[in-house]
Amino acid sequence: MLKVLRRLREMGVVGMNARNGDYIARYNSRRCYPLVDDKLRTKKLATDAGIAVPELYGVIEIEHQIGRLAKLLEPHQEFVIKPAHGSGGNGIVVITGRTNGRYRRANGALVQLDDLAHHISNILSGMHSLGGQPDQAIIEQRVVFDPLFEPLTYRGVPDIRTVVFQGVPVMAMVRLPTLQSDGKANLHQGAVGVGVDIASGQTIRGVWMEEVVAEHPDTGHPVAGLEIPHWDELLTLAARCYDLAGLGYLGVDIVLDRHHGPLILELNARPGLSIQLANGFGLRPRLERVESLAVIPECAERRAQLACELFADPRRQRGGGDTQEQRSAATEGIAVGPRVHATA
């Protein structure tokens, strides 16, 4: 037991108490929580800043508006209904199509308009919101995920979770829904978490149900060695979300849409700790590295760049002799190196 404790401490694994006390309490101003807890506000902020998000089809704020639901849904074959204040992927219904006036859910079940209305009514009454306050229901574009993830997904939409610390992305993972997670990309509920090398965007290893796995449990496809497209763009996007929300310790969930590229799905003021399991690294050394920086660049692109220099996975190191040079250059806020062109 004590050995485990010592090893975990050596690896710098951040526990729940340390996350809450040393990072969230210290770097996340409570004032900023509403920005990320209310997905509607997040969406608006992002849109205003020119960051791509899934398109908003409509908002239902009061019970009475449910009567117009049919009309609202009319133009859309596929859409997602979610609570504005939901957490952990709860209360999200994904409709992938229509058959004979019924709606087909992502898990294949057919539901009627009445069922959707009841679900929205539940959302409004606060069933899925934090603390149970009355809530709003968001109806938005269904993300059609990048074909890259096709063999690695069992229903639902995989997303990429990045932990951004003081604007610098420090760790990332892909979350793959499984049969067990019922299409949700939440590790607690049985999704697979796959660690991603911050520098290259390559997947490293997977964790499922808190055990290391090599393959997706449903599709059997190996999870490591995947190269995530638009990685630099994605990393910059994550870094930009810091400017948006003002939260020092932030979880950014991004989906890769087949047609629209990376879209911000939601922001999280209390990102979970399983990302460490997925990567096989503790967060603390990286967080402390960022804390020790004298200056953190203003520009999101440079911060993403900085993350690539600082947190390249040693297991994926392509052995460039210029690493040291790049690092020092990056800390001084000067962008050098071959990767700059990709982000520019």
Partner 1 sequence: MKDLHLRLLAFVLAAAGLGLCYYKVTALGLPLQPITEAEVWTVEARIGFHADGGPAQVQFYLPNQPPGFTVLGENFVSGSYGLATDFAGDNREARWSVRRANGRQVLYYRIQLAEATSMSLPRSEPIPAYPQVPNYSEPYRSAVMSVLDGVRAQSADISTFTRQFLVRFNAANPDKDIRVLREGIRDDVHRVRRIQRILAGARIPSRTVYILRLQDGMRQGTLEPWLEVHNEREWLPFDPQTGRPGYPPNALVWRVGDDPLAEVVGGSQAEISFSTMKSIREVLGVAEERARLLDSRVLEFSLFSLPVSTQNMYRVLLLVPIGAFLVVLLRNIVGIKTFGTFMPILIALAFRETALLWGVFYFILLVGLGLAIRFYLETLKLLLVPRLSAVLIVVILLMAGTSLVSHKLGLVHGVSIALFPMVILAMTIERMSLVWEEQGAKEALQQGVGSLLVAIAGYLVMTNEQVAYLVFVFPELILVLLAMTLLLGRYSGYRLTELWRFRAMLRSAD
Quote the CA–CA distance of 254 and 145 in Å, as a whole number: 11
Site for partner 1 in 13-32 (CB under 8 A): 13, 15-18, 21-22
Given the rule CB under 8 A, which of 88-96, 147-155, 216-224, 242-250 is the region that contacts partner 1? 88-96
* Nearest distance, CB of residue 121 and partner 1, angstroms: 6
Q: Which amino acid is at 310?
A: L
Burial call 165-202: b when 16+ CB within 10 Å, e when fewer: bbbbbbbbbbbbbbeebbbbbbbebbbbbbbbbbbbbb
Site for partner 1 in 189-248 (CB under 8 A): 189-190, 205, 207, 210-212
* Nearest distance, CB of residue 327 and partner 1, angstroms: 24
For position 337 contacting partner 1 by CB under 8 A, the verdict is no
* Nearest distance, CB of residue 266 and partner 1, angstroms: 17
Q: Which helix H or strand E contains 302, and what residues bound it?
A: helix 300-310
For position 336 contacting partner 1 by CB under 8 A, the verdict is no
The per-residue DSSP string of 91-155 comes to T-EEEEEEETTEEEETTS-EE-HHHHHHHHHHHHTTSSBGGG----EEEEEPP-B-GGGGGG-SS
Quote the CA–CA distance of 288 and 19 in Å, as a whole number: 13
* Helices and strands counted in the chain (H then E): 13, 13
Residue carrying structure tokens 């953190």? 296
- Tell me the two tokens of residue 182: 């019922």
Quote the CA–CA distance of 52 and 153 in Å, as a whole number: 23
For position 276 contacting partner 1 by CB under 8 A, the verdict is yes
Q: Residue 261 region, left (φ>0) first, then alpha (ψ -120 to 50), else beta?
A: left
For position 62 contacting partner 1 by CB under 8 A, the verdict is no
* Residue number with CB closer to partner 1 (262 or 282): 282
Given the rule CB under 8 A, which of 120-128, 162-170, 223-231, 292-300 is the region that contacts partner 1? 120-128
The one among 47, 65, 122, 219 contacting partner 1 by CB under 8 A: 122
* Residue number with CB closer to partner 1 (5 or 294): 5
271 phi, psi to nearest 5 deg: -65, 145
* Nearest distance, CB of residue 110 and partner 1, angstroms: 16
Residue carrying structure tokens 């992305």? 169
**Count of residues in contact with partner 1, rule CB under 8 A:** 38
For position 111 contacting partner 1 by CB under 8 A, the verdict is no
Quote the CA–CA distance of 181 and 101 in Å, as a whole number: 28
* Nearest distance, CB of residue 182 and partner 1, angstroms: 8
The one among 222, 261, 280, 333 contacting partner 1 by CB under 8 A: 280
* Nearest distance, CB of residue 146 and partner 1, angstroms: 27
Given the rule CB under 8 A, which of 36-44, 49-57, 142-150, 188-196 is the region that contacts partner 1? 188-196
What does the binding site for partner 1 look like in residue numbers (CB under 8 A)? 1, 4-5, 7-9, 11, 13, 15-18, 21-22, 88, 90-91, 114-115, 118, 121-122, 125-127, 180, 188-190, 205, 207, 210-212, 276-277, 280, 282
